[in-house]
Amino acid sequence: MSRQPIATRRRFLEGAGALAGATFAVPVWADQFVDLALPGGPTRRALTTAFPQKGAMILQRTRPPLLETPFDVFDRGVFTPNDQFFVRWHWAVIPTEIDVTTFKLAVRGHVNRALSLSLADLLALPRVELAAVNQCSGNSRGLFEPAVPGGQWENGAMGNARWTGVQLRDVLDRAGVRAGAVAVRVKGLDEPVVDGAPKFMKALDIDHARDGEVMLAYRMNGAPLPLLNGFPLRLIVPGWYSTYWVKMLSDIEVLDAPDDNYWMKTAYRIPHTPQASVKPTDAGFKTVPINRMVPRSFFTNVTGRTTVKPGTTVAVRGIAFGGDCGVAKVELSRDGGRSWQPAKLGIDEGPYSFRLWSAEVGAPTSGTLDLQVRCTNTKRVVQPAEPNWNGGGFMRNAIERVRLAVA
């Protein structure tokens, strides 16, 4: 594994510093603009190639970087290209370079022996691979009505990759977890921009951390992680939202008590209700840390701007994922959800991966072709007909709808 090029990263961070207060792009960052279908607006976003190791991305924020994947990318295959994989950081102080010859991963806390592992040490451990969707918990937040604060993503704050690395369990076993351990807390190399702000840290219950699926990835889709996606190490928590997928992983701490740091006790909490849903006027409800993902499905080759010919057979396709388990089936409806037809599923790349689907539907002779798509996962959880609502803008997974003009 070689040292990553750094010159463009330095230029990016220096330039972004001048825009630290900006929420959206200014023309210098924009190659062109796109319009997102956000009911609360503003809908215009820059499509930029100004970020290192990244192709065209929808710019949600310059610093810390929030870059959304253009949705047409998802129509090109089940795995999201590294150079168009979405980016979301919490703090803006991100290292401009990583020297792999000196990088160390600390493993400490309630263990028999503290460790300082080099990348060579990690590469010597048994290698594992896993296909898994990485999805921001606020993906589709911009579609919430009424609107809520936070990054106003449309549907592109997600991506699917084949991750290569080592099991977290193997690393913990090397340190020797002591009796009484209850959680594993992780943090990365990013830092808050002001003194006293809480360092970004997340924790998993000890049994989850040791389940053999949680891993430390050093490659995605067969290549080293891009810097903005967490180079040189990223925690992979299959089936769970991206907030747990800590980037530039540098510290693993085994705890003998539940973690009460800000990012577990206060931030990223959801109503303890069905679909994590409440009314905007509700108060006093119990909350829990956000955790498992829920099933979703999308159209990728048709949009509300698509026109089809009268009386023809229309080929539609898309992607689906089961959330915290596999996809059992994908169905389409053209009558407002009264009846559903099965879609054909593509290759199963694993229970946490995107799954391609396709179907053919007949267009009417006039008017519009109104389609809906829904996924049922292997735990028999079905996408709901109506969207949820909570103040964090988390966990949207309502049935997707598209209206095609017939002309």
Dist CA 325 CA 82 (whole Å)? 23
- List the Cα angle 1/240/176 in 5-degree steps: 60
- The strand pairing partners of 324, in sequence order, are none
Dist CA 319 CA 131 (whole Å)? 14
Dist CA 182 CA 43 (whole Å)? 44
Dist CA 173 CA 148 (whole Å)? 42
Structure confidence at residue 24 (pLDDT): 27
Dist CA 300 CA 330 (whole Å)? 14
DSSP symbol at 378: T
Question: Coil, strand, or helix at residue 264?
Answer: helix
* End-to-end CA gap in the chain: 55
Structure confidence at residue 50 (pLDDT): 93
| Element housing 9 (H / E) | helix 7-17
Q: What are the DSSP calls for 195-241, one per residue?
A: TTPPPPEEEEEHHHHTSS--EEEEEETTEEPPGGGTTT-EEE-TTB-
Structure confidence at residue 19 (pLDDT): 26
- Here the tokens at position 237 are 């928590």
Structure confidence at residue 29 (pLDDT): 53
- Here the tokens at position 232 are 């040189």
CA-wise closest residue to 220 among 67, 69, 49, 85: 85
Length of the chain: 407
CA-wise closest residue to 4 among 84, 81, 103, 90: 103
Q: What is the pTM of this model?
A: 0.92
Q: What is the pLDDT along the chain (407 residues), one digit of tens a residue?
A: 333 333 333 232 333 332 233 232 333 455 689 999 899 888 899 999 999 999 999 999 999 999 999 999 999 999 999 999 999 999 999 998 999 999 999 999 999 999 999 999 999 999 999 999 999 999 999 999 999 999 999 999 999 999 999 999 999 999 999 999 999 999 999 999 999 999 999 999 999 999 999 999 999 999 999 999 999 999 999 999 999 999 999 999 999 999 999 999 999 999 999 999 999 999 999 999 999 999 999 999 999 999 999 999 999 999 999 999 999 999 999 999 999 999 999 999 999 999 999 999 999 999 999 999 999 999 999 999 999 999 999 999 999 999 999 99
Dist CA 171 CA 12 (whole Å)? 34
Structure confidence at residue 355 (pLDDT): 98
- Here the tokens at position 191 are 């830092």
Q: Answer positive or negative: Cα dihedral of 284, 289, 290, 291.
A: negative
**Are 127 and 165 within 8 A, CB to CB?**
yes
Other beta carbons within 10 Å of 120: 11
Structure confidence by residue, pLDDT tens digits, 9-68: 323 233 333 223 323 233 345 568 999 989 988 889 999 999 999 999 999 999 999 999
* Domain extents in the chain: 7-88, 105-289, 296-406
Domain covering 296-406 in this structure, CATH number: 2.60.40.650
- Here the tokens at position 21 are 């207060």
Class of the CATH domain delimited by 105-289: alpha beta
What separation in angstroms does the CA of 45 have from each of 17, 57, 73?
A: 20, 10, 17
